[in-house]
Structure 1
Amino acid sequence: MQKIIFLFFWFASISVNSQEIVLTGTITDKEGLGIQNASIILLDSNNDSVDYAFTDVKGNYSLSYQKGNLSSLKLEVSCLGYSKTYKLIGVLSQVQNFVLERKVETLREVVVEANQKIKKEQDTTTIKTASFTNKTEQTLEDVLKKLPGIEVQQDGSIKAHGVAIDKLLIEGEDMFNKNYKLLTKNLDANVLDAVQIIDDYEDNPVLKKLNNSDKVALNLKLKKGKKNIWFGNVTLGAGIVSENRWKESLNLGLIRKEIKLFYLADYNNLGEKATDLVSSNVIENDIFGEDRLEYSAKSLFTINSNEIGLFSKTQSVFNNAFLNSLSFTKKIKKNLSLRGSAYLTNDIQNQNSFAETNYNFGSNPISFTENSFYNRRSSLASTELELKYYPNDKNYITNLFLFKEHPTHTNNNLLFNSNQINQSSKNDNYTFYNHFNHTLQLDRNKVLNNYIYFGYDKMEENTKIVSPLLNSFLEVNSGDAIHQKSNNSLFYIGEKTKLIAQFGNFDITNSLQFEYSKEIFANQFTITEQRFSNYENNLNFNKIKLDFDNALRYNFSKKINFTASLIVKNTNFNTTIGNKNFWIVNPTISLNIKKTGFGNFAVSYSENNDLPEINQLTSNFQLIDYRSFFKGTNFQNPIKNSVSQFTYSIYQDQKRFSVNTGLIYMKSKTILNTISTITNDFNFSSSLLTPGGDNFNFNFSVVNYLRKLKLASKIETIQNWNSTPISVNSDVFLILKNYSNTIKYTATTYFKKGINLDGGFAYHFNKSEFDSSTNENNTKDIFLNLNVDISKVLLAECKNASYFVNSQNYTFSNLVLNYNPEQSRFSYRLVFNNMFNEDKFTFVTLNNFTFYQSSVDLVPRYLLGTVKYRF
């Protein structure tokens, strides 16, 4: 049945858009001279844009469109300094010429108004948000999810034209840096006028002259009434005749030429986590641009919350979240600006779950159950300050400073089979990073970038465990508490000098990097003040690294280039267990074809050789959770793998059509593998350098808009094959093979009035083979969201989702009523969550030798009422 549905929508989209028409012509003045950069827009009977083009130096243009069910077309031609004109043409027209008359006017101010839903000018695509929304959207993220060319991932990160965005700008200013989720999940959707996708984005004005960036950014355009005045909103919400729920928030903004400011605050117990909105460390190595290197300390002990990634946070996470953030940019001088951000977040999470695990080892299976009661309090305070100085057109200087304090306190009471176990952990994490960049233009085609960076990250953990099983294993009294204190501190400092040059069709980069780091990874293991040295480690790690990065790109044309790079690394280890020196060579080659009428193509091959991290080098076992011990290795060779990749994409935003596909093959030549010994009560794992396996990943997605049906549909599939050697309760390594396949179909209607729907289905299949046994598992889910215009001021949303997991079915239905009185600053909202009151969810995972089944509590039914005041 699913295949029939798949084929039906696929052939329907092809048949409607089966005939392509090419329209050409010439735009001239009365003297017969061609007019360059004249704009030609092709509109349908609803005045929606079908295609557009600009004339070349001779005044020639070319358009292409699908005939489909178009009945009439309108061709508009305009150019600065000439009178605008248009023609009504037939759908089969192939040649249309225009003669423009000169228009002379004296203008004090020019205001350009664009009624197009989507407009493209060079590398910038502007999308008017009102054409894709229905006034039920509450936040910026709700709007972005509905715009063509933009994808919002499950974790809140954003892709535009298939690329993870580099920055999210507001009226051209970067205010949140990598923490843009603070804005997307909190900014009121009502303030937005348009979103711009900027391809080939470069923030550095000196590097921008070389025009070799592949980055993508989003720029938010606010409504005219939101500029030069204070604006924002206040939301108050509380549970009505149901379990106590609340939602309070405040947005405050000021957008002026000399200063831009946003204050965001939120307090709710609806499941979203505030600490997840602040980014962790950032690692960026840009061959032809600036780098950013932030390293982080390692946590030793883990207490699992047993969250479900399948659902939204509001369905399965019990969390009280608090957020307080202030971000601003200030023009100190014409060429000097300051960006600042301060965040304070807090989460209090409570999760209950029950899990059953079976390890199938032929005649000796192992089974156990876990009944868990989990509580975690997590806070995060963070500050960022960035200075940008542009003294002249040849120099650009930036300095970015970041500080974070992240304490967490976790408690977990559980029943392991019939044994009562208590575990608690107090973690204190302190971090600061500093990045200094100076970019100097040496001459017309040479730029020198000096990057100086340093950082310090410290993780202190105090863990307490009361477990009769551990005490029996360690031969101590059953009621004694086990204390494990661990400390991982990392300090590093480095400098990287990069020369970027252009010679004809060649782009060349040569860089030299020096880095020194000092890291400590230590733990103490005590019971009633008695030390157990066999479960302690004290590893000091001094590392000196010298890197030579060289890259060459040959540009056959503006659309085709070939890039080759070679990274040579020399790393010297000085540890408490010995000294080692390694030379590592990592080559990469790629062929890129982009911005053609057929889309963008890329083929690449790279070798990635690396060294293990400090926590993988410990010589003694350490306790990493209440029933697992882990020991590192004394490795002799680097970790090696190679990656071959092919990608293809095409994004025609105006037609709302896109294709994105990729194939990745990774061959792991050597890996840090684990040898595991599993008993009824404990797991023991140790690292070992072994040959690796293979991994294939294939993804494909196509988005198509059926103009006649006002329907946008998306078909996508993700498939993965991998094999890897593993050793469990044996000295022999056996090959584990896994295959997974996901197929999704979604459809959204865009009717101006009445009922609109957003629905689809997904099928997930997993299969594993290990030691002559095969396991399979599949799940299905289907969703249907209805948006109903009851009246001009009353809108209803009905959100329905059903999950079919093995023999269990789960259905969630949420009802939302939105009342937006005309000419009023107030709006009202009722949210009826989980109307069928599903209280538990059980999911099963089957892989290699493990059967894992977990049941978690779900957020019970509630009715939330909110009132929002906009000013």
Structure 2
Amino acid sequence: MKEKIAVIFFTLFVSAFSSAQTIVLKGIVQDSLQKPLSFTNVIAKPKELSQNMRFVVSDEEGKYRLELKKNHSYTISASYLGYETTSFLITPDENIIKDIILVESKNQLDEVIIELPVTIKKDTIIYNADKFVDGSERKLKNILKKLPGVEVDKNGGVTVQGKKVTKLLVDGKKFFGGGTKLGVENIPAGAVDKVEVIDNYNEVAFLKNISDSDDMAMNIQLKEDKKRFLFGDVEAGTNVGYDSYHKASANLFYYSPKTNVNFIGNLNNIGEKTFTFKDYMNFQGGVNAVFNGNFNWKGGDFSQFLENSDVLSSNQRFGALNITKTVASKLDVSGYVIFSQSNNVSFSETLNEYTTFSEDKSNKSSSENLLGIGKLNMEYAPNNKEQWYARSQVKKLNVSNENNILSIISTENNNIATKRKNDTWYINQNIEWHKEHSYKHTFSAIADYTFDKNTPTSNWLASDTYAKTIQNIVQPVDTTQSQLRLFQNKFTERHHLHTVFKDFWVLNNNNHIYSTIGNTHQQEKFSSNDFQLLDDNSRNDFKSGGFNNNTVFKHNDFFAGIHYKFRTGIFTFKQGVYLHNYHWKVNQEELIDKEKWVLLPDFLLKIEFNKSKKIQLNYNLKTNFSNASQLTNRFYLQSYNSVFKGNPILENELYHSARIRYSRFSLYRGLMLHASANYTKKVKGFRSAVNFDGVNRFLTTQLLENPNENWGIRGSLRKKIKKIRYKLSGAYNNSKYLQSVNNTFVNNKNTNYNFEVGAETLFDKFPTIEVGYKRTIGNYTSNNSTSNFITNEPFATVDYDFLKGFVFNFDYRHYDYQNKSLGAQNKYDIANAMLSYQKEDSPWLFKITTQNLFNTTFKQNNSFSDYLISDTRTYIMPRVVLFSIGYKL
């Protein structure tokens, strides 16, 4: 492995040495009064057509810096909105310092502005895609990676100047709910005309300056010949070998001035997940940013079934259809439907370290998940000062899961088979209204209703010997049976109604007053029924042992808030307070009825030194209530060896939350710096209490004073030097919390940190090579027990376009996993490769893809919970080689 990494580092060194054949042209762009002109386009157009154009944007001080090839001729042009373009010819043989003077233009032509590679206006950056592409790009992500200040990660996330893009639009319309991944991975590069980035985005234009939105939107403007056109691509592949692996995908798009239709489909059995947990979160619904913090109800217990862990075998089926229609000049209707089905088999081996004993556990599971999401949106704008939204969303999930567990403690072996099913419904309806009543007053209001229903069932099958080990926690168990057969039926139903009204009072440009009034009403029903099925198929009900729940929880939150926001120079302050009246009832065998008032202050400070250097500080005093399943007064099974009993007298958590963020970006210096620190301190908080009986355990929830404290820092630095970009990132987290274990309070501490260093080549006629090293360290301390884990990860990736049509991608990561507590170590490699060919101007694509190139058997990691430290081996799919043929429409 070391030899492999050494070769890659040597290649990087040779590449860096070759950059000595470049020179640097730099200086300051100024107007006729010697005032620096920030964000000026400076372009170097080579005389030789085979050479690529060079381009930079001047920084906030007007500085620019171009790297040019030695002894090559270039035409240097500088362009700025409202100024005459100036040009000059240069054939440099050494570094040059040259200031550029621009003169104000008498006649401003929009056509000239459109041709600029980048146009910057206040909070908006517009990239002209044609100025950055060379024809080898396949998807939108390939274009984005070439835009200055834009980065795309492997999960389809996009950042611009260090800030995450939270909304993706196509011709001004949300693309599949606004998440970036589906668009970045699937929109064809050939359809993209311009990429528009909008900071502090709000979909309602007149709310932009008052909403305090931290969203950043990216709008993909299509080429004119794609605005009434069907385009996209299809691809199908099968394995090279004896096993039956396959993949088929389709990405089809139809756009016209009034109708947009998008379809994405994927079918595979190679473990490729098209719809992940992060994607699901982007389809949660959402409301306008002006209501952020007034209610945060997500709803729908879906996410746990969508996270795709490493598997032994997998079948994935995914389809998504999105339609946007302009029905009238004032009315837009849009909607989407998403279908996802997965069948997975997984296997893991885990060493569990409890406080007083250890457990070796193996788990083989098979699951079938079927998810459907549908959403309908209507947007009505009677005029440019009023906006209405009506949104309806339905989600449906069916889950079936089977687990076979072998648990070994000392010399005692237990086999447990578990079957779980869940049928989940989620329905959300909201109506939203915004009106700019006058210059001074703007109103916003929303009514949001959510219905959420879960009906999970579970059953556990084990040997009769295991029945005797759990009798201490499930006393009604009959130990005379040939097998232990436990069953559980649960039912959860939630209704939530949120109403909020806001008034934005603009005193002047620098002083605003915001007032809020609202109410949140929720009602939850929770029931559980646990029993044993005997050999004669009769039921042994556990009610006499304190099981079986029937809980109704009603909670009402009436709140009012006032905030004052003012701006002076580079500073923006916003401070205010919310007053909440909480009234809740817990109805079980007896009624608990309580009411209380809570005052929650918050504070915001922004320091904007310039558009590329900012600091933001947030502080909130927050509160949180539990749900019905945590308030039960009787037991219910959580797993084959875990019994939970709620705490009906729980009140609310109260905690301090603070965060500071710093960002710095400079194209001139090739610098991107982002750092943040966060702190959370619970004044009152929920903690789980556990009592052990061997591996079996009783759990409940307690409300403790000062139960935990968390703080962490993280940062990333990217610096470009000549044709290499260097990267450094790291994070540190420290968590201390109090826990009741076997009726004794213990102090636990979790400290973990990681750092990553790397370098990436940026040459025009050379492969893009990235090499780096990551180190992760976790220290877990509980009472007198300490565990320490270290993972070292050197890695390398290669992206290479060559011979006019060939594309080669390779990613490699070596893992050196160490459990210092046990003196154990494991080393393994994960690698994937892809080679494709598409002749220029041909619609046909041919591709060979290899995943798990070294045929690695398993991955290894660790985790830490309230009372448990786990070291887990997760087995993965074997090497898969696919040959694919694609066709571009």
Residue of structure 2 equivalent to 1:422: 417
Residue of structure 1 equivalent to 2:755: 743
* Counterparts in 2 of 1:624 and 1:286: CA distance versus 1, 3 Å: same
Residue of structure 2 equivalent to 1:486: 490
* Counterparts in 2 of 1:702 and 1:135: CA distance versus 1, 3 Å: farther
Q: Provide the C-alpha distance between the structure 2 equivalents of 1:435 and 1:306, rounded to a whole number of angstroms.
A: 28
1:757 to 765, 769, 790: 769
1:664 to 657, 663, 678: 678
The amino acid across from 1:376 in the alignment is S
Residue 638 of structure 2 aligns to a residue whose secondary structure is strand
* Counterparts in 2 of 1:75 and 1:863: CA distance versus 1, 3 Å: closer
Q: Does 1:406 align with 2:391?
A: no
1:475 to 474, 477, 488: 477
Residue 835 of structure 1 aligns to a residue whose secondary structure is coil
* Counterparts in 2 of 1:773 and 1:129: CA distance versus 1, 3 Å: farther
Q: Provide the C-alpha distance between the structure 2 equivalents of 1:154 and 1:571, rounded to a whole number of angstroms.
A: 44
Do the aligned residues in 1 keep the contact of 2:168 with 2:183 (CA within 8 Å)?
no
Give runs of aligned pairs for residues 271-286 of structure 1, distance below 5 A.
271-276=271-276, 277-279=279-281, 281=284, 286=289
Do the aligned residues in 1 keep the contact of 2:488 with 2:528 (CA within 8 Å)?
yes
Residue 498 of structure 1 aligns to a residue whose secondary structure is strand
Normalization by structure 1: what TM-score? 0.87
Q: Provide the C-alpha distance between the structure 2 equivalents of 1:704 and 1:269, rounded to a whole number of angstroms.
A: 40
Q: Provide the C-alpha distance between the structure 2 equivalents of 1:847 and 1:295, rounded to a whole number of angstroms.
A: 24
CA displacement, residues 116-143 of structure 1 (integer Å, 9 cap, x when unaligned): 3x54333222346678788887654566
Q: Provide the C-alpha distance between the structure 1 equivalents of 2:345 and 2:190, rounded to a whole number of angstroms.
A: 33
Q: Provide the C-alpha distance between the structure 2 equivalents of 1:134 and 1:799, rounded to a whole number of angstroms.
A: 23
Residue 353 of structure 2 aligns to a residue whose secondary structure is strand
Do the aligned residues in 2 keep the contact of 1:22 with 1:62 (CA within 8 Å)?
no
Q: Compute the displacement of 1:615 (Å).
A: 2.1
Q: Compute the displacement of 1:400 (Å).
A: 0.8
* Counterparts in 2 of 1:467 and 1:283: CA distance versus 1, 3 Å: farther
Q: Does 1:263 align with 2:263?
A: yes
Q: Provide the C-alpha distance between the structure 2 equivalents of 1:703 and 1:20, rounded to a whole number of angstroms.
A: 22
The amino acid across from 2:512 in the alignment is D
* Counterparts in 2 of 1:459 and 1:554: CA distance versus 1, 3 Å: same
Q: Compute the displacement of 1:427 (Å).
A: 0.5
Residue of structure 1 equivalent to 2:710: 695
Residue of structure 1 equivalent to 2:536: none
Residue 177 of structure 2 aligns to a residue whose secondary structure is coil
Q: Compute the displacement of 1:762 (Å).
A: 0.4
Q: Compute the displacement of 1:102 (Å).
A: 5.1
Deviates more, 1:660-669 or 1:120-129: 120-129
* Counterparts in 2 of 1:762 and 1:129: CA distance versus 1, 3 Å: farther
Give runs of aligned pairs for residues 73-84 of structure 1, distance below 5 A.
76-78=77-79, 84=85
CA displacement, residues 92-150 of structure 1 (integer Å, 9 cap, x when unaligned): 75765444675699xxx94865363x543332223466787888876545665676545
Q: Provide the C-alpha distance between the structure 2 equivalents of 1:268 and 1:233, rounded to a whole number of angstroms.
A: 17
1:571 to 558, 563, 582: 582
Deviates more, 1:654-663 or 1:176-185: 176-185
Residue of structure 2 equivalent to 1:721: 734
Do the aligned residues in 2 keep the contact of 1:43 with 1:73 (CA within 8 Å)?
no
Do the aligned residues in 2 keep the contact of 1:129 with 1:143 (CA within 8 Å)?
yes
Deviates more, 1:644-653 or 1:464-473: 464-473
Q: Does 1:64 align with 2:67?
A: no
Normalization by structure 2: what TM-score? 0.85
Residue of structure 2 equivalent to 1:436: 431
Q: Compute the displacement of 1:705 (Å).
A: 1.8
Do the aligned residues in 1 keep the contact of 2:586 with 2:631 (CA within 8 Å)?
no
Q: Provide the C-alpha distance between the structure 1 equivalents of 2:174 and 2:84, rounded to a whole number of angstroms.
A: 38
1:816 to 819, 827, 834: 834
Q: Does 1:780 align with 2:785?
A: no
Do the aligned residues in 1 keep the contact of 2:30 with 2:37 (CA within 8 Å)?
no
Do the aligned residues in 1 keep the contact of 2:227 with 2:257 (CA within 8 Å)?
no
2:346 to 329, 337, 351: 351
Residue of structure 2 equivalent to 1:507: 512
Do the aligned residues in 2 keep the contact of 1:348 with 1:377 (CA within 8 Å)?
yes
Q: Provide the C-alpha distance between the structure 2 equivalents of 1:221 and 1:775, rounded to a whole number of angstroms.
A: 53
The amino acid across from 1:414 in the alignment is I
Residue of structure 2 equivalent to 1:222: 222
Q: Provide the C-alpha distance between the structure 1 equivalents of 2:635 and 2:584, rounded to a whole number of angstroms.
A: 22
Residue of structure 2 equivalent to 1:57: none
Residue 62 of structure 2 aligns to a residue whose secondary structure is strand
Residue of structure 1 equivalent to 2:120: 120
Q: Does 1:522 align with 2:527?
A: yes
The amino acid across from 2:781 in the alignment is E
Residue of structure 1 equivalent to 2:822: none
* Counterparts in 2 of 1:36 and 1:549: CA distance versus 1, 3 Å: same
CA displacement, residues 777-825 of structure 1 (integer Å, 9 cap, x when unaligned): 1101111122334411223223221111122111123231111112210
The amino acid across from 2:85 in the alignment is K
Q: Does 1:652 align with 2:697?
A: no
1:296 to 296, 299, 303: 299
Q: Does 1:385 align with 2:376?
A: yes
Q: Does 1:496 align with 2:500?
A: yes
List alignment gaps of at least 5 residues for structure 2.
47-52, 534-538, 819-824
Q: Provide the C-alpha distance between the structure 1 equivalents of 2:810 and 2:27, rounded to a whole number of angstroms.
A: 43
Q: Provide the C-alpha distance between the structure 2 equivalents of 1:608 and 1:94, rounded to a whole number of angstroms.
A: 55
Residue of structure 1 equivalent to 2:879: 861
The amino acid across from 1:736 in the alignment is N
Q: Provide the C-alpha distance between the structure 2 equivalents of 1:38 and 1:687, rounded to a whole number of angstroms.
A: 57
* Counterparts in 2 of 1:654 and 1:426: CA distance versus 1, 3 Å: farther
Residue of structure 2 equivalent to 1:462: 457
1:50 to 47, 56, 68: 56
Q: Compute the displacement of 1:372 (Å).
A: 1.6
CA displacement, residues 48-78 of structure 1 (integer Å, 9 cap, x when unaligned): 233337xxxxxxx951246999989976455
Residue of structure 2 equivalent to 1:328: 323
* Counterparts in 2 of 1:131 and 1:741: CA distance versus 1, 3 Å: farther
Deviates more, 1:479-488 or 1:66-75: 66-75
Q: Compute the displacement of 1:181 (Å).
A: 3.6
Q: Provide the C-alpha distance between the structure 1 equivalents of 2:39 and 2:715, rounded to a whole number of angstroms.
A: 34
Q: Provide the C-alpha distance between the structure 2 equivalents of 1:681 and 1:83, rounded to a whole number of angstroms.
A: 78
Q: Provide the C-alpha distance between the structure 1 equivalents of 2:185 and 2:224, rounded to a whole number of angstroms.
A: 22
Q: Compute the displacement of 1:295 (Å).
A: 4.0
The amino acid across from 1:481 in the alignment is R
List alignment gaps of at least 5 residues for structure 1.
29-33, 54-60
The amino acid across from 1:501 in the alignment is W
Residue 535 of structure 1 aligns to a residue whose secondary structure is coil
Do the aligned residues in 2 keep the contact of 1:130 with 1:193 (CA within 8 Å)?
yes
The amino acid across from 1:512 in the alignment is I
